[in-house]
């Protein structure tokens, strides 16, 4: 019997498709007084409250656990398509751009993960903070140390989360104590794939840091791992910073462009996602679309590190898969609401304002699609996994004031994006159940 049915009431918004430029109204569903019914962790119904209630067997109605979030907004769990958990300790570090920032802040922080205890404590803290921000799935960089992936996946498994993570591969142009080799990267990644890929809700992602820190031999290994396992994921970085791009052209002469380096080593395709992609040309955009390789748009990081403005409109026009990402610790917040607001700011600089529909699509179904996880998560279609976040417009006085003057749902959503943040997250549910912070991370944050 379905004695684990979970019935949720509130204003529900989710996407069925990309709303595109036209923001076509059949790409999303909004139920002002909505119901979400979850059984055995999966969505069984999503509709108007009265409609779901009427079709509910009496037994389910009496035994279901009910959560009443009336007046609050329920969205599918938010998806952060690119984030580095070991960099929590260097968020908000002053005065450097990408390459100096890596050398001065990031590499020393990642070196501290040689201590497995640090990896364990950071994993617990990071995941509980993600949940506090309404984010339920992320594509996560660990460090070069294989145990940094074990620690992360153990913490994610304990919380029943759908997560991607991989061991960073880097065998040159980094400190000695963070360096692997093509052979060790292959052996370590294979072991981690066998241990974790497809276990519960966890999936492995092959993680060469970026072209400058891998030899051609190691990029070859990355290509073998990515193409050698079914439904494998891959994450890296692309065209973030001008000096980085120049460096790549020196290190890999004879390639048409930066993307062509990754293309040459068989690192493009469905399941692959690259952070940034700011300074792309038309040929690179076309090739990303053709291969269905995704870009993670990381606006707070791009502004904070002075990297530049991602061309969202050009990416969209080229039909590239795009997700939204915090890129902590280059990024300045784990909040996908703040990230959407930064994405809007960047789009305004280019006179192509990002609509609230498209922003919320990118943070949910679009992100799931960019990570090739849309068969599991991203919206409330029947059979999808029941991860969701609840947002309270009344948690911030300015937001409550603005929303009380809003002319419709579109204005309310846009106000939430621009004025809201993690204070608005009233609850986060995983497979229907409320997530509660673990004792470990409560100690950490005290």
Contact positions vs Zn ion (CB under 5 A): 275, 327
Stretch that binds ligand GUN, among 13-21, 35-43, 98-106, 283-291 (CB under 6 A): 98-106
Pick the closer one to Zn ion by CB: 197 or 209.
209
Q: Which does 277 bind (CB under 5 to 8 A by kind): Zn ion, ligand GUN, none?
A: none
The tally of CA atoms less than 13 A away on the side-chain side of residue 445 is 14
Q: Among 81, 235, 300, 301, which residue sits at the site for ligand GUN (rule: CB under 6 A)?
A: 301
Of residues 203-232, which lie at the interface with ligand GUN (CB under 6 A)? 209-210
Which residue's Cβ lies closest to Zn ion? 275
Stated length of the chain: 446
Pick the closer one to ligand GUN by CB: 237 or 312.
237
**Using rule CB under 6 A, residue 84 touches ligand GUN:** yes
Closest approach, Cβ 383 to ligand GUN, in A, equals: 35
- Looking only at the bridges linking them, the beta strands covering 28-39 and 6-15 are antiparallel
Q: What is the dihedral of CA 423, 328, 232, 362, to 10 degrees?
A: 50
The tally of CA atoms less than 13 A away on the side-chain side of residue 102 is 16
Pick the closer one to Zn ion by CB: 327 or 392.
327
Of residues 310-329, which lie at the interface with ligand GUN (CB under 6 A)? 327
Closest approach, Cβ 154 to ligand GUN, in A, equals: 23
**Using rule CB under 6 A, residue 106 touches ligand GUN:** yes
- Looking only at the bridges linking them, the beta strands covering 168-169 and 202-208 are parallel
Question: What are the counts of helices (DSSP H) followed by strands (DSSP E) for the chain?
Answer: 19, 16
- Give the residue from 288, 272, 280 showing the smallest Cα distance to 311: 280
Closest approach, Cβ 83 to Zn ion, in A, equals: 8
Q: Is 446 exposed, middle or buried (0-12, 13-18, 19+ CB in 10 A)?
A: exposed
Pick the closer one to ligand GUN by CB: 300 or 372.
300
Positive/negative CA dihedral, 77, 82, 84, 89: negative
Closest approach, Cβ 212 to ligand GUN, in A, equals: 8
Q: Which does 76 bind (CB under 5 to 8 A by kind): ligand GUN, Zn ion, none?
A: none
**Gap between the Cα atoms of 13 and 22, Å rounded:** 18
Q: What is the dihedral of CA 144, 145, 146, 150, to 10 degrees?
A: -110
Residues in contact with ligand GUN by CB under 6 A are 84, 98, 102, 106, 209-210, 237, 240, 301, 327, 330
């Amino acid at each position: 019997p379905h004695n684990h049915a979970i019935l949720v009431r509130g204003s529900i918004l989710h996407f069925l498709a990309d709303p595109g430029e036209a923001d076509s109204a059949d790409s999303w569903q909004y139920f002002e007084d909505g119901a979400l019914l979850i059984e055995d962790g999966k969505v069984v119904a999503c509709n108007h409250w009265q409609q779901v209630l009427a079709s509910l067997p009496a037994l389910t109605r009496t035994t279901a656990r009910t959560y009443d979030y009336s007046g609050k907004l329920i969205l599918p769990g938010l998806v952060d398509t690119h984030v580095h958990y070991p960099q929590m300790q260097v968020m908000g570090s002053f005065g450097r751009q990408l390459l100096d920032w890596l050398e001065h802040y990031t590499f020393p922080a990642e070196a501290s993960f040689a201590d497995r205890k640090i990896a364990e404590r950071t994993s617990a803290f990071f995941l509980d903070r993600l949940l506090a921000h309404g984010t339920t799935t992320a594509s996560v960089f660990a460090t070069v140390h294989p145990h940094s992936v074990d620690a992360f996946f153990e913490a994610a498994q304990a919380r029943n989360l759908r997560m991607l993570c991989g061991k960073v591969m880097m065998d040159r142009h980094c400190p000695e104590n963070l360096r692997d080799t093509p052979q060790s990267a292959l052996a370590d990644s294979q072991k981690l794939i066998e241990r974790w890929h497809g276990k519960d809700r966890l999936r492995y992602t092959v993680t060469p840091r970026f072209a400058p820190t891998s030899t051609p031999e190691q990029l070859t290994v990355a290509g073998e791992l990515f193409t050698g396992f079914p439904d494998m994921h891959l994450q890296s970085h692309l065209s973030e910073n001008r000096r980085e791009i120049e460096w790549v052209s020196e290190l890999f002469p004879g390639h048409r462009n930066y993307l062509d380096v990754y293309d040459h080593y068989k690192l493009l395709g469905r399941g692959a996602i690259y952070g940034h992609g700011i300074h792309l040309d038309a040929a690179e955009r076309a090739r990303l679309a053709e291969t269905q390789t995704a870009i993670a748009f990381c606006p707070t990081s791009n502004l904070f590190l002075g990297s530049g403005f991602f061309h969202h409109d050009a990416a969209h026009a080229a039909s590239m898969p795009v997700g939204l990402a915090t890129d902590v610790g280059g990024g300045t917040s784990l909040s996908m609401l703040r990230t959407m607001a930064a994405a809007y700011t960047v789009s305004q600089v280019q006179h192509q304002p990002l609509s609230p529909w498209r922003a919320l699509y990118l943070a949910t179904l679009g992100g799931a699609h960019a990570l090739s996880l849309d068969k599991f998560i991203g919206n409330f279609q029947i059979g999808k996994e029941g991860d969701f976040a609840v947002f309270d417009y009344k948690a911030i006085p300015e937001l409550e004031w603005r929303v009380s003057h809003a002319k419709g749902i579109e204005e309310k959503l846009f106000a939430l994006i621009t004025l809201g943040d993690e204070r608005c997250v009233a609850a986060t549910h995983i497979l229907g159940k409320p997530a509660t912070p673990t004792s470990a991370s409560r100690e950490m944050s005290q």
